[in-house]
């Protein structure tokens, strides 16, 4: 059974730091992995989607990598800003069944001004 | 931009009531999803639909049903609300693309309290 883990659960960094958020999954049979941002009391905003055949995706200050063989993905945020404060979730789409996504429980990021 | 709209941001109901949560998307997406989000448990899939009148159970369908009469609208129904259904409910949609990769887009959520 696929399990998705995000460690740490919470993280505080000073503004301007480059940081890495981690996502681990137990079964490498995935179609894709998606990173989301969630602000308090809100829904999820899609940040990046990496297909199983890809190694990384970039959008602005965000870079997500995928290593299927080791069951890991990282989200790299460059030059962090207070506006980046949010919970970041990863989700994998499994190959068994149809359209099933397994979510991690997220990393709560606080960027201090 | 894709817009997924959930009809209520906050809802308070009583145990035993029949509760309807509505979700509408404006991008002609085939797939629609209902999740609930609870602290420490993350998002869990309740039901999803890949076409009008088509549905499949997710991981936690017990106590819920769904309706998809039109492509743009996906309703979640709590047949007889119970206190353990107090949660944040999130609707999502995505474009059908066979086995290829399309991102999910989420609404702002409905925080439901059952008293």
Tens digits of residue pLDDT in B16-74? 999 999 999 998 888 899 999 998 888 999 999 988 988 999 989 999 999 999 999 99
Instruction: Please tell me what DSSP assigns to residue B85.
Output: G
Instruction: Check CB contact of A106 with chain B, cutoff 8 Å.
Output: yes
Alpha helices in A9-110 (DSSP H): none
Note the pLDDT of residue B98.
Answer: 61
Q: Give me the torsion for CA of B61, A24, A40, A85, rounded to 10°.
A: -170
Tens digits of residue pLDDT in A47-72? 999 988 899 999 999 999 999 999 99
Disruptive mutation site among B8, B21, B23, B37 for chain A (greatest number of A CBs within 10 Å): B37
Sign of the four-CA dihedral B91, B94, B98, B100: negative
- Give the Å distances, CA to CA, from A91 to A14, A65, B17: 27, 13, 33
Between B56, B108, B109, which is nearest A98 by CB? B56
N residues, chain A: 113
Q: What are φ and ψ of residue B83, in 5° steps?
A: -60, -30
Q: Kindly state the helix (H) or strand (E) to which residue A93 belongs, with its residue range.
A: strand A86-94
For chain A, report the end-to-end CA distance as a whole number of angstroms. Answer: 41
């Amino acid at each position: 059974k696929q399990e998705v883990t995000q460690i740490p659960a919470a993280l505080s960094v000073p503004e301007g730091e480059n940081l890495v958020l981690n996502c681990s999954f137990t079964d490498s049979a995935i179609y894709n992995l998606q990173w989301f941002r969630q602000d308090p009391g809100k829904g999820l905003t899609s940040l990046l989607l990496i297909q199983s055949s890809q190694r990384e995706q970039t959008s602005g200050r965000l870079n997500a990598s995928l290593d299927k063989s080791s069951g890991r993905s990282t989200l790299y945020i460059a030059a962090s800003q207070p506006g980046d404060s949010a919970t970041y979730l990863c989700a994998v789409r499994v190959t068994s069944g149809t359209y099933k996504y397994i979510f991690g429980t997220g990393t709560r990021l606080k960027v201090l001004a | 931009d894709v817009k997924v709209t959930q009809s209520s941001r906050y809802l308070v109901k009583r145990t035993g009531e029949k509760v309807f949560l509505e979700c509408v998307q404006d991008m002609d997406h085939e797939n629609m999803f209902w999740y609930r989000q609870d602290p420490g448990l993350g998002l869990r899939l309740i039901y999803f639909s890949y076409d009008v009148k088509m549905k499949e159970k997710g991981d936690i369908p017990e106590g819920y049903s769904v309706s998809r009469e039109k492509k743009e609208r996906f309703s979640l129904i709590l047949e007889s609300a119970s206190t353990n259904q107090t949660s944040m409910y999130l609707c999502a949609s995505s474009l059908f693309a066979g086995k290829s990769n399309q991102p999910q887009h989420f609404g702002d959520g409905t925080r439901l309290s059952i008293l």
